[in-house]
């Protein structure tokens, strides 16, 4: 199965800062990659699908890029509500798999 490796494990930033999260696949997943946000006690929320498409209602400060094996989620200017854990997920190869997550915490 495809292994997704996310880095860094933790990102410490201030509100207003720029967050750059990485997701690397063990083999090419084309553009079939999604990003989710999860806050404590909640289910995940879809942010980005197909590597770069924002899901319905997702603010423009969230953007995704990449293809093949290397992907990036960028949050251009962190709002207080953006401090959370972020997961990537591939659907190119069965079974669908998730990365281990990056926690974005307040510095």
Partner 1 sequence: EVQLVESGGGLIQPGGSLRLSCAASGFIFSNYAMAWVRQAPGKGLEWVSTLSSGGGSSYYAASVKGRFTVSRDNSRNTLSLQMNSLRAEDTAIYYCAKDLSVTARWDFDNWGQGTLVTVSS
Tell me if 34 contacts partner 1 by CB under 8 A: yes
Give the shortest CB-9-to-partner 1 separation in angstroms: 11
- Out of 9, 42, 60, 80, name the contact with partner 1 by CB under 8 A: 42
81 three-class SS: helix
Burial of 27 (0-12, 13-18, 19+ CB in 10 A): exposed
Sign of CA dihedral 81, 83, 84, 89: positive
Tell me if 94 contacts partner 1 by CB under 8 A: yes
Task: By CB under 8 A, name the binding residues for partner 1.
Answer: 32, 34, 36, 41-46, 49, 55-56, 87, 89, 91, 94-101
């Amino acid at each position: 199965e495809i292994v997704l490796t996310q880095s860094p494990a933790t990102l410490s930033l201030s509100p207003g800062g720029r967050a750059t999260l990485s997701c690397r696949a063990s083999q090419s997943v084309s553009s079939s990659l999604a990003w989710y946000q999860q806050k404590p006690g909640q289910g995940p929320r879809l942010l980005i699908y197909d590597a770069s498409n924002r899901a319905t209602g997702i603010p423009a400060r969230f953007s995704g890029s990449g293809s093949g094996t290397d992907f990036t989620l960028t949050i251009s200017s962190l709002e207080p509500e953006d401090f959370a854990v972020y997961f990537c997920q591939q659907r190119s190869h069965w079974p669908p798999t998730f990365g281990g997550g990056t926690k974005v915490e307040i510095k």
